[in-house]
Structure 1
Amino acid sequence: MLRPLHPSAVPGWMVERATARRLAGDWRGACEVAGVDVEVDLAAIRRVHGDEVARRVEDDLTHLAPDLLRWHLPRRPDGRLRSDSWHPVALFPDGHALVVHPPAWFDRPQRITVRFERPGGTLRRATLDDSLLLLRERWDSRCTAQLRARCGGPSRLPFFTTGGERLDDDAVAGDGPEGRVEFIVQIDDEGRPADAWSAAGFDLEVLLFDPRWGDDRVDPAAFDPAAFDPAAFDPAAFDPAAFALSSFGPSSFGSAAVVRAGRRAAAVDRALGWLRPAHWWLAEAAGRVRWHLADARANAPWNDDPALVTPWRTDLAEDSGLFRVDLRGRCLVLDRLDGPRPRARLVATARYRQADAEREAAEVDAFGTVLDRIPRLPHALARRPAELDALRAGSWSPDDLHPLVHAALFPDRPAPGPRPAPPLPGTVRVHCDEATHEVRFRGGTIAVPHGPAEIERERVLETLGGRVAGCMAARDGWRDPAVRMHRRMRALRAELLARVWHGDGPAVLAAVEQGVDPHVRDERGRTLLHLLPWLSDEEGRRSSPALVRRLLDAGLDIDARDRAGETPLHVAVALGAPGLVRGLLDAGADPSAMSGGPNPRAAAWTYRPDLDFLRAIRYRPGR
């Protein structure tokens, strides 16, 4: 289930400032605030590809909502951006595309890069995710209103009013297209996906091309296309029990035939239930895939260089009217999507994708082509939008949505204001011996409720080989990751570091100003000075002078060592902006400091062209 993002993943100040700059026509400034590096040379594109291509690229960049893009990129379970995929958002002639790249590694600064390039060569090492080509509402400010239509609501979001209020149970499944969607979704949520397909007007069939699946698992008789007539549906007379039994055939209830038919129908339901499709949207989704395939074919590379071959297949039969949705071990083949009675055929796919001649002949006989040449509907298009399910389940509230999505789904609801990350607690209760004590953050230090004599006793026990615990572990573990702290202190450190990983410099600065001890270290022994390359300020600058000054004023060592023996300058040279490197040098960082490990290196050793000024410092006499 979709859950709200961490408050610092796309903080309110980022959305507010990026939106203001985008609306003012400053798309580069909007991208800078949102942590998006645009490596696009419009002059070079105009010179090589012509004015029309350059105009199209600039038009897409002008309407790019970088904060909305950051919101919708795939994320790891810990909330950081996934680094194993690349995302084209628009195609251009000769195989070029506007491509979005997340960080190269998950533990790198969470900055996004946009390039105009040919999606081939080194990009093949990562996974292609072309959902943003098909779902422009995820990044294009001109298309955000399409999300409500994809949820099945021409005039309102199903199950909700235009003001964001949840409809009562007796008010759903009424007249109109939204009521029909609500009725279909309710049937699907009751665990009857086959009946939901019938309620959506689809003729359902089961084709057995592989006898090894067995008739006991999938039975063509499990579906009766006439079991549900949408035109004759009366919500007041709807009987779920009777409707559930309509797929069991005409045999008398309680007989062995009915039990067997029920088991077969349950097997089919299991095959269908994993998808949770947006039945009402499949025809439009097929149209988007058809357009995308035509666009990919028209913009394919003009030469035969194998490194530049388009990653999108151009041998698919998109004019056949057939589309497939892959399931687990099976697939659904959809056709007649533009007609009054579309059809969905459940097919067992070839084992290990090894179809023999007999299997291929059966596929051609049934579909006119082999399954492998039928265009696929991505799950991102075929499934119900995650926002609809999350809002219905209550894991999201309307105000948890991105403002552009909020305005598209709930046009009559006041827009939520920017919400800063909540303040960190200033007091943590920990178990100490047989009591529970309060550990407090005061003025950048951790205060424990113990006198000097008790603290000295704990130090003596530690010297003799004992392990600190309780309040002393809370104070020592904050600055030394090798010391195990109480779980509440570990959770507090994880929350502070999460704001660092997401790059929310204002939230980190607010926590330090609040009194949180800034001498925290992560699991690799890095201080906040080491982690400065991850942070940016409210203007999008990757070197925040206010945060650097605040950390130095708090007493952090400019040449502190992490577990790898690296200083903050080592990390800044490897990952930071030139302004941050200059700021650390001005603060007294030692450019000749050597790292640890079997291959030590000086902090100033780098081949980055934007750090050429380090070469003069490196060879400066006396350093």
Structure 2
Amino acid sequence: MRRPSLPSFPPDVAASWERVRRYAVPASMIERVAERRLAGDWRGACTAANIDITFDLAEVAAEHGRATAETLEDDLRHMAPDLIRWHLPRVDSGGHTTLAPGRLVRLASYGAQGAGPILHLVTPGMVEGPQRSKLCFAPVPPPEESDVHQEWAGLRPLWDVRRVDGLREWYGGADRIPFFHADGTPLIEDELPSEAPGPGDPAAHTEWVTRLHDRGELNTALAATRVELSVDFSGLPDWARDDPHALLARLPLALTRWEPRLRELAAEGFGTAFRFPVTWRVCATLRLQGSGPLQLRLGDNSKPSDASELTEASWQRPVDLDLLRSGRIGPDALHPLIRDALFPARAAAEIPAGPPAPEPPAPVRVRCRGEWHEVRLRGDGLRAASHSEDEQRRERALRAFGGPVTGCFAVERAWSEGTGRLPRGLREQRRELFLRVQHGDTAGVLALLDAGFDSRARDGRGRTLLHHLNKLDHEPLLSRLLAAGLGLEDVDQGDRTPLHVAVGDLGSPALVDALLAAGARVDVLDQEEQSLIDLIKRYRRTDLPALLERLMREHPELDHGWWDWMDD
């Protein structure tokens, strides 16, 4: 069935966000975080959400005073780290669903006018690496950690359970959110405003402004939200000069939230001018003008000296609103805290709210020798139920001698080697597994393996589950995968072994030690002739001193010196 598009998102971005909501914060994570949070264990809640804590409350008290430490601890006990993960910005290109790397997200400040120490989160440094973030508390954000700040000052509904009901206001509503009744049923056309509503109904006002924007009536939408637009045509690319309004019309703008949000930021000491990117060459600058209308200026991507960067959460319409409006997700697929906040009159679901759990792999039909056959995933591989054991042995022998392979057996080969074309059903099943892998859903991966999913599956780059252990909890998986026949020296399409990937893609020292203890070779080179020494130096793996010492002692010839300049 063709999925509907979102009002301000192209189909590929809409599909990416749908996958984000299905996989990025899995139900098992939500359950563990809630259990730990309700028990008063904020550290355990962070661990369950794959967030590493980099500070100690005793040290905070010693450096900043007991009152600051107590206020911070109270915030941490009411923090929902899985909500933070839900709302963090994502990579917006290439179909990725992972966290945008290198973002520093300021959650709360503990001094006047934002000048004191801050509680902040640093997102991972790699697009496809482990989805682990760091929770920090420091007077000044460390510049080497991030060059892109996300200002969540005043946005406690995104992470503080005491304020999560404020999401309705953040969505542009009050007793209900725009386009929906309080029980989560969508408004029909006759229930939506056909003219500008009065100020007493914020949800209807947001509906009116949003529909104007989605119809391309940008000037009217801006006027309805007290925004004056000016355009620096010399700063626009040639293709945008004929219709600069189209640049803004295709963005999911939260127009009704701009003025109150900017006044909140101004009160927090962030100035009166704010900037956000429209395209890689064009930016928008918003200025507060006393009690008058906001000034919105479109121009080139140079940053005004007095303008603060405006985070996506402040200028964009909440993506979940468009996902709900388009029917790509339903209310019960939201995070339970978000569902209850947005739809306070909704009855409890028959199954717990939240992203769906993994389903057992179903048989898939394949065209073979002029007929439709079924192939099914099993723990030891993909099997064609319509062929006898003798036929399967003959086909495997034929393949071993380089003979042509077709039908069910061609699909088996494509599956086992991670190359070639798979039927759509198998592609979706493989994507289900590796998306859960990518987002650290160890419980989901184990559930799929328990349900009969092939543990020897390879992704599109030829990587096995052993290659992906850097993203998962390796302890319940490593011995199981080795017992199933996966090899420590299996290579992907870049000739990288699981140990290569663990070292080069930010696998934990515990995982590296476990692979070494299992017998992984250390004298390996990938397709680019990079050794483990090269990877340790390239990615500054100062947390692997024992491995580096062993390599330099046993294989000094593998020290190519390519990355020594980084220490200069």
Structure 1 residue 442 displacement after superposition: 3.5
Q: 1:207 to 1:594 in 2, by over 3 A?
A: closer
Pick one of 204, 209, 223 that aligns with 1:184: 209
Residue 457 of structure 2 corresponds to 520
Residue 113 of structure 1 corresponds to 134
The equivalences for 1:311-350 within 5 A come to 316=271, 318=272, 331=284, 335=288, 338=291, 342-345=292-295, 347=297, 349=299
1:554 and 2:554 correspond? no
Structure 1 residue 415 displacement after superposition: 4.7
Contact residue 61 and residue 68 of structure 2 kept, 8 A: yes
Residue 74 of structure 2 corresponds to 59
Q: Which has the larger radius of gyration?
A: 1
Q: Distance in 2 between matches of 1:618 and 1:327?
A: 49
Contact residue 430 and residue 436 of structure 1 kept, 8 A: yes
Q: Distance in 2 between matches of 1:130 and 1:73?
A: 9
Residue 407 of structure 1 corresponds to 340
Structure 1 residue 167 displacement after superposition: 2.2
1:89 and 2:107 correspond? yes
Pick one of 162, 179, 184 that aligns with 2:182: 162
Residue 595 of structure 1 corresponds to 524
1:273 and 2:249 correspond? yes
Q: Distance in 2 between matches of 1:149 and 1:95?
A: 28
Deviates more, 1:565-574 or 1:426-435: 565-574
Q: 1:290 to 1:457 in 2, by over 3 A?
A: same
Structure 1 residue 122 displacement after superposition: 1.6
Q: Distance in 2 between matches of 1:381 and 1:613?
A: 45
Q: Which amino acid aligns with 1:155?
A: D
The equivalences for 1:71-470 within 5 A come to 71-76=86-91, 77-92=95-110, 96-117=117-138, 118-123=140-145, 126-173=146-193, 176-177=200-201, 178-200=203-225, 202=226, 267=243, 270=246, 273-274=249-250, 277-293=253-269, 316=271, 318=272, 331=284, 335=288, 338=291, 342-345=292-295, 347=297, 349=299, 353=302, 373=306, 380-416=313-349, 417=352, 418=354, 420-448=356-384, 449-451=386-388, 454-455=391-392, 458-459=395-396, 462=399, 465-470=402-407
Contact residue 278 and residue 382 of structure 1 kept, 8 A: yes
Structure 1 residue 106 displacement after superposition: 1.7
Deviates more, 1:487-496 or 1:455-464: 455-464
Q: 1:184 to 1:618 in 2, by over 3 A?
A: closer
Q: Distance in 2 between matches of 1:31 and 1:420?
A: 22
SS at match of 1:86: strand
Percent of matched pairs sharing the same residue: 35
Q: 1:57 to 1:396 in 2, by over 3 A?
A: same
Q: 1:503 to 1:469 in 2, by over 3 A?
A: farther
With normalisation by structure 1, the TM-score equals: 0.71
Q: Which amino acid aligns with 1:406?
A: R
Deviates more, 1:391-400 or 1:8-17: 391-400
The equivalences for 1:451-600 within 5 A come to 451=388, 454-455=391-392, 458-459=395-396, 462=399, 465-535=402-472, 542-545=473-476, 547-558=477-488, 560-562=490-492, 567-568=497-498, 571-572=501-502, 575-577=506-508, 580=511, 589-590=518-519, 593-597=522-526, 598-600=529-531
Q: Which amino acid aligns with 1:387?
A: D
Q: Distance in 2 between matches of 1:415 and 1:611?
A: 52
Structure 1 residue 270 displacement after superposition: 3.7
Q: 1:452 to 1:599 in 2, by over 3 A?
A: same
SS at match of 1:145: helix
Contact residue 137 and residue 143 of structure 1 kept, 8 A: yes
Contact residue 23 and residue 355 of structure 2 kept, 8 A: no
SS at match of 1:129: strand
Pick one of 28, 42, 47 that aligns with 1:13: 28
Contact residue 474 and residue 489 of structure 1 kept, 8 A: no
Contact residue 591 and residue 617 of structure 1 kept, 8 A: no
Structure 1 residue 15 displacement after superposition: 0.7
Q: Deviations over 1:291-321 (max 9, x none)?
A: 3335xxxxxxxxxxxxxxxxxxxxx5x3xxx
Unaligned runs of 5+ in 2: 1-8, 555-568
Q: Distance in 2 between matches of 1:504 and 1:403?
A: 18
Q: 1:567 to 1:119 in 2, by over 3 A?
A: same
Q: 1:486 to 1:326 in 2, by over 3 A?
A: closer
Q: Distance in 2 between matches of 1:445 and 1:276?
A: 44
Structure 1 residue 557 displacement after superposition: 3.5
Structure 1 residue 273 displacement after superposition: 2.8
SS at match of 1:167: coil
SS at match of 1:89: strand
Q: Deviations over 1:547-593 (max 9, x none)?
A: 3343344333455455566554555566444554565566xx11554
Q: Deviations over 1:340-371 (max 9, x none)?
A: xx43556564x6759xxxxxxxxxxxxxxxx7
Structure 1 residue 47 displacement after superposition: 2.3
SS at match of 1:182: helix
SS at match of 1:411: coil
The count of aligned residue pairs is: 512
SS at match of 1:164: coil
Q: Deviations over 1:146-203 (max 9, x none)?
A: 2211223222212222111122322333664133333333333332222233444x3x
Q: Distance in 2 between matches of 1:427 and 1:323?
A: 54
Q: Deviations over 1:511-545 (max 9, x none)?
A: 2122222111234443223322322xxxxxx3333
Residue 229 of structure 1 corresponds to none
Of structures 1 and 2, the one with the larger relative CO (CA 8 A, separation 6+) is: 1
Q: 1:51 to 1:558 in 2, by over 3 A?
A: same
Q: Distance in 1 between matches of 2:153 and 2:486?
A: 46
Q: Distance in 2 between matches of 1:352 and 1:573?
A: 37
Q: Distance in 2 between matches of 1:271 and 1:548?
A: 49
Structure 1 residue 26 displacement after superposition: 0.4
Q: Which amino acid aligns with 2:344?
A: P
Q: 1:455 to 1:491 in 2, by over 3 A?
A: same
Q: Distance in 2 between matches of 1:346 and 1:578?
A: 49
With normalisation by structure 2, the TM-score equals: 0.77
Q: 1:523 to 1:345 in 2, by over 3 A?
A: closer
Contact residue 209 and residue 256 of structure 2 kept, 8 A: no
